[in-house]
Amino acid sequence: MVNPSKYVKVSVLNAIRSANIPVWYKRKPKSTGGNEYAILTSVNKNPIDRGKTCFDWSIQVVIDLWSVGVQGYPPTDNSLEDMEEKVLTVMDSLVVDGFHVYDRILQQQTDLSVETNTQSIERKVLTYEIQLNSI
């Protein structure tokens, strides 16, 4: 049986990179710069149907979008919304090698912006459900 999680992870990371958004899996390395980026925080799978030769899968993907500024000065140029728009566009046409993707659903968008003692952090968390089966 082929594990779809690793193929979905690679496809999502590549799709976001194709939109010129820096993206990492799980966490941003300390050695990297940049104040606007995405993190693919999780990829979870559930079998939803079993055929004679394959499974249908429901894959949940969580994408965390960040825009970090100096405390008291949140970004005002809509950069986070622009980044979200790019992610929405690439996820809407996501292709996963070796699988037929038959649905891509944005389940939820959550705003988790926060002000700390040193930074203004704008965050949006996008939760997708991707339904697919192997070909």
Asked if 85 and 65 count as a contact pair (C-beta separation under 8 A), the reply is no
CA distances from 48 to 9, 45, 130 (A): 19, 9, 12
Nearest to 107 by CA among 64, 66, 60: 60
Half-sphere exposure for 95 (CA within 13 Å, toward CB): 3
Query: What's the pLDDT at 4?
Result: 92
Domain positions in the chain are 4-134
pLDDT of residue 76: 64
Asked if CATH classification 3.30.2000.10 holds for the domain at 4-134, the reply, yes or no, is yes
Whole-prediction pTM: 0.90
pLDDT by residue for the chain (135 residues), tens only, comes to: 788 999 999 999 999 999 999 999 999 888 887 889 999 999 999 988 776 666 799 999 999 999 988 887 766 677 899 999 999 999 999 999 999 999 999 999 999 988 888 888 899 999 999 999 987
